[in-house]
A and B are shown apart, each in its own frame.
Chain A
């Protein structure tokens, strides 16, 4: 016993260091889910106010820009209205479904504002000021006027955490607009405006400048939302697939307003998915 006490006294600094360092790593190891939730819940009282004041102040500085972007957005929406289409039913409406000759609403959009954003980390998370009270739930897609932004990963009452496209864990199914060949898009971790496309077979004709859109295979995004443009295509002898580098269409450096995509048929698709998996087993 005496020896133990002597040991503790002798090495108390090192022990304290090890204990505190373990606590830190325990916190880090509590997985991102925990710290996002903790951040959103407990820190919001102090921290939400600080950021709110900060955002209110800086918001004024960008009013001009925001107005411009809202005007653009409005123009786009107006173009989507049925009255501005010649024959909307056949080819143009991507976010509605025809069923029995009647148009059904498939996606609704919840506008929200980014309250915190980062692009410099290896795993970037965006926080937005809408939560479960406003109808947001986990696994919803997030877009803005230029393209896709990410996917909701955590929700509290009035805030939500969005896994940005600039995140090592983010993957989205995308296809070439001109010929519908699809593959997986992921961030390569280097640059806030570039990503890489996997699983594109070598025979697919891809050129620099081709447009990539969402495939609509996942329940996250409607089909046909612009993802980015092909920047560079490399064909390596020892690999079965092409290396396609992409310039993302969304500018993550000045995200301000985003839209959370609410897929009204998500549950239906997921149910179908699970029953099919069971049936084929």
Chain B
């Protein structure tokens, strides 16, 4: 139990620093604003109670907001991801398959994980970028931003996931 908390706490701090100091500063293009932070919510253990999941999502997002100076926007988006996560897991997991630990590329398989991450990140980015632009005025431009940002975020996420998973294996 303590191990799981510590592991998630380290992951949280790492993702926060990466997002604030690196990813948000890349300034790749106005159409690409990647956000790797939702990964923290995605990788929490399956058994996390839903109310706790939402509280974690909200406050984690709020902390990111404080660092990025965007009060409320990340909190709203991360909370949405935390709220939808259990529904999504139920939806894409075949019946009879019960997972007992945290989501992981190696135990759930790449296909499951890819679907899981892509749907959540797409929802997160759509919501976040919509709230950020604050208008429905230029939907096509918004959609382009969402698609490119989602793609870029996922590339970053999977690079990170593979790097860290390999290190864990070596340790064991």
A interface, CB within 8 angstroms of B: 12-13, 16-17, 20-21, 23-30, 34-36, 38-39, 42-43, 47, 50, 54, 116, 118-122, 125, 127, 189-192, 253
Contacts and interface: CB of A to CB of B under 8 A. Distances in A.
Interface of B: 20-21, 24, 27-30, 32-33, 50-51, 54-55, 58, 61-62, 65-67, 69-73, 75-76, 79-80, 83, 131-134, 138, 141
Contacts of B58: 20, 23-24
Contacts of A116: 69
Given A16-B51, A47-B66, A54-B21, 15 more contacts: A20-B55, A20-B79, A23-B72, A24-B62, A24-B72, A24-B79, A27-B71, A27-B75, A35-B69, A35-B71, A39-B69, A120-B27, A121-B132, A122-B133, A253-B27
B153 to A, nearest CB: 13
Contacts of B61: 24
Given A118-B24, A118-B27, A191-B30, A20 B54 contact: yes
A104 to B, nearest CB: 39
A125 B69 contact: yes
Query: At the interface, is chain A mostly helix, strand, loop or mixed?
Result: helix
Contacts of A120: 27-30, 32-33
Contacts of A43: 66-67, 69
Contacts of B133: 122
Contact of B54 (A17, A47, A54, A190): A17
A13 B128 CA distance: 22
Contacts of A192: 27, 30
29 contacts: A12-B51, A13-B50, A13-B54, A17-B54, A21-B80, A23-B58, A24-B73, A24-B76, A25-B72, A28-B72, A30-B71, A34-B71, A35-B69, A39-B66, A39-B71, A42-B66, A43-B67, A50-B20, A118-B27, A119-B27, A120-B27, A120-B28, A120-B29, A120-B30, A120-B32, A120-B33, A190-B30, A192-B27, A192-B30
B126 to A, nearest CB: 15
Contacts of B50: 13
Contacts of A47: 66-67
Closest 5 CB pairs of A and B: A27-B72, A24-B76, A35-B71, A28-B72, A39-B69
A79 B58 CA distance: 55
Contacts of A189: 30, 138
